[in-house]
Amino acid sequence: MKKKRVYLIITILLVLAFLTLLGVLTWGKTLRVAKANRRLAQANDPEGAAAAQRVYEDLLVDQPHSPYLLHNLGLSLYRDGQAAAAAGRFQSAGEELAKITGEHRMSPENRRRLEHIFHYHQGSAWFTTAEEAAPEEAIAGYEKALAGFEEAIRANPDDLDAKYNYELTLARLEKARQEQEQQEKGTGEKEREGQEEKEPGGQDRERQEGDRENREGEEDREDPGRDGDGQEEEEAGDSPTESTAGNQGEEEDSGMSKEEAMQLLEMAESGILYQGPLLPEGPPAGKDW
C-alpha cells in the first residue's frame, strides 16, 4: 500500500514538473515575442527591427506555420526596408491563416480581423515595392498591391484607409500603363524611321548617295565638253607646228606681218623647204598667252 502511494506521488510530481517545464518554455517564447514586438513598435530604436527579425526567425524554426510569427516577421522586414521580402511573409501568413480549421478553429470575427490586417500590410508592401521599382516592373507591383487592398476591403468594408490606398494604387497603375504605352510608341516610331532610311534592295541612304556621286563623276569624265575642250584649245594654241589657216575658231590675226607672209610665199614658190611660221617677238595684241 505504501509503495502504491509512493508511485502515485512520484507520478504526480513528474506530471507537475513536465507541465511546469512546458509552461516555462511556452511562457518564455511568449515573453520573447512580447519583447520583440515592443522593440519593433519603437520607431526611435534603429536596431529594433533587426533585433525583432532575429527573434521571429528563431521562433519560426519550431513553429514554421504560425501566421502570427510570419506576419510579425513581415513587419520587421518592412521596417528594415525590405518591402518585397515583407510582402512574401504577409502572403504566407494569409495562407497559413486559411489553413487553421478543426480544433484550432477561430471565431469568424477574429479571422476577418486577421485577414484584414494581413492583406492590408501585403498591399502596402507591394505598393512600396512598385514605387521603388523600374517602370517596366512597377506595373506588376501595383497590380499585386491593388489585389491586397481589395481583399482588405472585403474583410473590413468600413476601413477608409484601405479604400483610399486602393484608389491611389489604381491611379498609379493607370499612370504607369500610360507611360509604358508612350515609351513603346516612341520606340516603334524610331524603328520605323530607321526602316524608312533603308532602300528596298538593302542599301541605306548613305550608300545611295555615294553611288549617285560616283555616277556623276563618271559622267564628268565621259563628257568632252567640260575639261576636254579647254585642254585641247590650249594645246592647239601652244603648238608651233600647227597651221593657222586650218583653225577657223582662231582670229584672223596670226601674229605675222604682210612682208613676212610674202617672203614665205616666195620661198614656197622657189622650192625652199618650209620651216613653219616665224615666231613673233611678243604676244599679239589682246592676248594673254
- Is 15 part of a structural domain of the chain? yes
pLDDT of residue 93: 96
pLDDT of residue 120: 97
The predicted-structure confidence for 100-118, as pLDDT tens digits, reads as follows 876 567 888 999 999 999 9
Buried b (16+ CB within 10 A) or exposed e, 145-176: bbbbbbbbbebbeebeebeebbeebeebbeeb
CA distances 42 to 52, 57, 174, 225, Å, are 11, 19, 36, 97
- 151 with 76, same domain: the answer is no
For residue 110, give its domain range: 106-190
Count the domains in the chain.
2
pLDDT of residue 268: 59
- 79 with 124, same domain: the answer is no
Of residues 255 and 166, the one with the higher pLDDT is 166
pLDDT of residue 285: 47
- Kind plus residue range of the DSSP H or E element containing 235: helix 227-238
The predicted-structure confidence for 61-76, as pLDDT tens digits, reads as follows 999 999 999 999 999 9
Task: Give the mean model confidence (pLDDT) for residues 228-252.
Answer: 44
- Is 271 part of a structural domain of the chain? no
- Is 160 part of a structural domain of the chain? yes
- 154 with 114, same domain: the answer is yes
- 126 with 178, same domain: the answer is yes
* pLDDT higher than threshold 80 for residue 97: yes
- Of 190, 216, 233, which closes a domain? 190
- Is 52 part of a structural domain of the chain? yes
The CATH number of the domain holding residue 173 is 1.20.58
- Is 174 part of a structural domain of the chain? yes
- Of 190, 212, 237, which closes a domain? 190
- What is the rounded distance in angstroms from the CA atom of residue 146 to the CA atom of residue 138? 12
The predicted-structure confidence for 192-238, as pLDDT tens digits, reads as follows 766 665 545 444 555 556 555 555 555 554 554 444 444 444 444 44
- Is 203 part of a structural domain of the chain? no
End-to-end Cα, the chain, rounded Å: 157
Q: To the nearest whole number, what is the mean pLDDT of the chain?
A: 75
- 116 with 56, same domain: the answer is no
- Of 168, 190, 212, which closes a domain? 190
* pLDDT higher than threshold 80 for residue 173: yes
- Is 120 part of a structural domain of the chain? yes
